[in-house]
Structure 1
């Protein structure tokens, strides 16, 4: 089915460019002076504090309690601080702030953004048979690339196993990060509230857990107001936190151990491991928590631009953490057995309660970064058809990455509260947290290495050094946290397994449906035969008939014509097509074509995983109608003899529009027969359960209920 691309804007009262999600490009904004741009960047960097760095800035609350050393010495603490400093510097500054943020997919970050970027570059589809054709966009301008594919890229193009491994790694990373979105709020708030037990020993752990759960519930109830609105409230809190904790750290350094910065020498790391052996290796399960939230820094790229995140991290978060950990370590060198509560005990008594309030508020804000990142990941998975359709609300008209999902929000709330109430021991949650952090970092290193080789064409020596350094470093961290697998470390694996099972079940069911539709699709000749039946009538009006495939028509069409004995005089077979790009240009949004039968047209609506289609039913009709009339008029420019026929066609289209319209979609289900294997029975039954409880794809166009029609049909499994 050939599609024609319309360059002109649809001739409707409201131009298409004003209906689609606005671009983040500066070209859409009025010109500013360099001074105003500089102030704008600084303001955005300040707002970034309140959303992006939650897990990082609150990590001092729970790093030291996870240390297994029974009687640590001065040299041990110097070694531990050296490990944390170089972990923050190499992973936080070098890997994420300097490299990962540059691997964005048109402004979107995170595991699936990297996966989408690689798939597009290597010309491999996310769903190999989805919609019956290549995963490439119909208009090649979105994929223009003059460079030849790399040797590694060719391996992925040829090998189905390699593509599946890449997909598995990406899904695992996404599932782990969602697990992070559950554990970060739990451990951050629990660790902060636990500070009330020092001045009031009578306060029980169960009371701390209950209070933490109440705070988290309140936070999740705020999510519907959007990231931008809450960031104005959160940024001052994080500003106070990142200012006060390093000040306390500086005070502690001068009071307890002024020579703490000699630990910056890597020599102390070597001596630490030589002295402690296996126990030193196990300590890495706690020190890895100093870099928590770094993946959210990357995943939240859709909420804030790269420069604001880098500015906030390099000049605020990083120095704040270096000084805070230095102060904690200086205190612990003089009080070596206080590491079970390493944060609150190093706070001077005169400022204890103000710091407790700030720490509690900061823990609430910390949770926001992973919650917002989770919303972004779920949205990407939904539009790429790897997750059951849930409601996704865009909470900002200028930031496409700012989304909110009610269903996901309340599920996260329930799981966070359950983790606190069931696994109230902060150490168990910390162990689970360590598994998530190290696994996600390792997966990002693998995907970034592929990006450097396949897309950036980085020098092999630099790629080798990058991979050797970070894969080795993070691999050692992963090996250390796996020793905690039975002490809470199993929690993220359980969460990831459930999520992966949901995603695989949805993918498997969708793939089987596409396979059936491709096998039983109706071509144009078959449609012409069906319409030639004298009993089939062409009724007035416009019918939008939705189909999942493009190389042919859905088998639901034949079922519909045979039973209804009719088809509208103007029928537009419509496909909603998600592309392997974050955003689709407005003029490439709607593509139309004739199908060779009078009154029968094809229409494809294209958008990426960071796009939305905020069109209500009437606007949708206006835009498609404008595209059709423009297409018919353009086709007449090349064949002057058909001008009278063109006028007749336009009149017929106008008449059908005045007669009304209806939106028809298939409501298909699998008929699971006796010959199905137990695997098919299980997976397809699970898919049908999810499909029957998820949202329809039509509400994305805001089609009124009175204009919808569903045609039921059974697909034989």
Structure 2
């Protein structure tokens, strides 16, 4: 599990040495390459890793797992489940959706900047290779997304040993450089970060926008927790990744103290000249792995969003028979590929992309801290003074990083914000639209008791079982009313079936089914699943024993209602959002496929709903 975590989770933060220190000095806010600034930037990087990654995420946030699952939506579900509907849950839900939207923006930029920065190392071997950088990067990115369908576990098994070797090489090259200038070790003192800010507060603040590149990928530690668990991730960070990264950053700093002109590409210039081409190959492999970290996280977060009702139904493929959290979502995969290629071709170099990088990461980190505050104070009930000090410190740190990155908006930072805004609108529109549609259906629904008394005695009963699926566990499903209206018959056994997604990752099999006998051979059935589980209705129905004879698929028909939405002037959503919701509903995966219903046993009946 540790090796797999190295291969999937730490690729993003592990490739930060390729560009973080370089961009701090020659990015959009250049610094003089002298002892003051080199020591100051290295000190900022070290304390960012200690405070943000080690203390905040590894020691605190990773403990906020929702039965093993992590990420903003899992954290929201954890808080929601234990808050019992308190008034502050509305802003918490909006924060979770916004963090999810920002995370998707990060998932697009990370593969682009990581692969480009690695392939650009070819120019340190031979300057004439510059024209090949873009086509090689595009080819690598396409190949990466093409292999996603084989599954996270296989990808992790393939990448884990490579990543371990990569971190060993980072540590060795850094240590060799440190031995030549051991005074760089003094940069581990916070004194040098403080001195840097005192010398020029404005430059120090601007430098935070580049320094934070050293901790990009931190949110992936939390989002990918369901793939490997907290302990392998924490162990890998503390004993392998953190030491290797800091040795390399210190080594780059030592190189710059003796050779300021090496700032053009200190990562590759750490290696002897005859080893630079192998380093390009190794670093390129590592950046492919970095991209894998956020892609795996995107699949996990997308599935959580679908199950919790923030995204339309998508086709979700399980890639592991033994691990629930490992999934592949074709739609997300190809959308991410298209957006990443657009970025690579549009921005052309890692330096141009660095201006766009960081704003989504720091925004997500800041929101996670706000949600952590709610968790610590209201759910975990820590001592208020201790919690106030911890949360206040992290709000200041994350707020400073985010504010510094906001200055990047004109230079490319607008892109992840645009992606986040569009994603936020889509997520909130879907959630609000579903709520309105269910409210309208409930308003017009006939009470079940009235229907049974009037219809059960007059309608002709035919052999077999009819399962009417409905999203609301009250009233008569529209499909049942339409079936009786048009076909004039009722089956011998009627099941009114609702699938409920609980705010826990997994629901045990013994808690899966709830059956209520309504009389006259009518039954209301509720199937409960966790937000990390894929519903399989036929598999559960075969096990149900408390609603008459055993249910056989060959004698069972499934009736689904396909709603056609009619936008109206009724209060609820703006007309443009109603039309957007209607479009999303039309393009969602069918309930038949999502719930794994047998295709030859499904009947769809249409109805119109005004929202």
TM-score by structure 1 length? 0.82
Over residues 80-124 of structure 1, what are the superposed CA-to-partner deviations in whole Å (9 max), with x where a residue is unaligned?
A: 100000101111111111111111000001111110000000123
Partners of 1:563 and 1:701 in 2: how far apart?
26
Q: 1:181 to 1:202 in 2, by over 3 A?
A: same
CA contact (8 A) 1:249 1:328 kept: yes
CA contact (8 A) 1:63 1:289 kept: yes
Q: Per chain length, whose mean CA-contact separation is higher, i.e. which structure has more relative contact order (CA < 8 Å, sep 6+)?
A: 1
1:284 — aligned with what?
A: 208
Q: CA deviation at 1:493?
A: 0.6
Q: CA deviation at 1:345?
A: 2.2
Mapped pair 1:90 → 2:90: no
Residue of structure 1 aligned with 2:155, choices 230, 245, 269? 230
CA contact (8 A) 2:125 2:276 kept: no
CA contact (8 A) 2:119 2:133 kept: yes
Alignment gaps of 5+ in structure 2? none
Partners of 1:352 and 1:196 in 2: how far apart?
8
Partners of 2:530 and 2:431 in 1: how far apart?
18
Q: CA deviation at 1:573?
A: 0.3
Partners of 2:153 and 2:321 in 1: how far apart?
11
2:9 — aligned with what?
A: 52
2:70 — aligned with what?
A: 109
1:565 — aligned with what?
A: 488
Mapped pair 1:549 → 2:462: no
CA contact (8 A) 1:289 1:434 kept: yes
Q: CA deviation at 1:677?
A: 7.6
Partners of 2:233 and 2:577 in 1: how far apart?
42
Q: Give SS of 2:108's match.
A: helix
Aligned length in residues:
607
Q: CA deviation at 1:658?
A: 9.0
CA contact (8 A) 1:82 1:264 kept: yes
Q: 1:113 to 1:100 in 2, by over 3 A?
A: same
1:139 — aligned with what?
A: none
2:520 — aligned with what?
A: 598
Q: CA deviation at 1:613?
A: 3.1
Residue of structure 2 aligned with 1:165, choices 82, 86, 91? 91
Residue of structure 1 aligned with 2:367, choices 427, 439, 443? 443
Partners of 1:567 and 1:197 in 2: how far apart?
74
Residue of structure 2 aligned with 1:239, choices 164, 171, 174? 164
Partners of 2:553 and 2:224 in 1: how far apart?
46
CA contact (8 A) 1:573 1:601 kept: yes
Partners of 2:421 and 2:575 in 1: how far apart?
20
Partners of 1:371 and 1:224 in 2: how far apart?
12
CA contact (8 A) 1:540 1:659 kept: no
Over residues 438-475 of structure 1, what are the superposed CA-to-partner deviations in whole Å (9 max), with x where a residue is unaligned?
A: 11111111111211112211111221121121111111
Mapped pair 1:195 → 2:121: yes
2:22 — aligned with what?
A: 65
1:507 — aligned with what?
A: 431
CA contact (8 A) 2:120 2:130 kept: no
Partners of 2:82 and 2:573 in 1: how far apart?
34
TM-score by structure 2 length? 0.96
Q: 1:698 to 1:576 in 2, by over 3 A?
A: farther
CA contact (8 A) 2:46 2:246 kept: yes
Q: Give SS of 1:567's match.
A: strand
Partners of 2:247 and 2:521 in 1: how far apart?
71
Mapped pair 1:578 → 2:501: yes
- Report the aligned-residue RMSD: 1.8
Residue of structure 2 aligned with 1:697, choices 579, 586, 591? 591
Q: Give SS of 1:69's match.
A: coil
Q: CA deviation at 1:335?
A: 2.2
Pairing of 1:227-626 with structure 2 (within 5 A): 227-255=152-180, 257-531=181-455, 534=458, 536-595=459-518, 597-614=519-536, 617=538, 619-624=539-544, 626=545
Alignment gaps of 5+ in structure 1? 1-43, 125-156, 629-649
Over residues 394-446 of structure 1, what are the superposed CA-to-partner deviations in whole Å (9 max), with x where a residue is unaligned?
A: 11122111111011111111111111111223223222221122111111111
After the TM superposition, list the runs of 4 or more consecutive aligned residues in structure 1 that deviate by more than 6 angstroms.
none
CA contact (8 A) 2:62 2:70 kept: yes
Q: CA deviation at 1:336?
A: 2.1
Q: CA deviation at 1:271?
A: 1.0
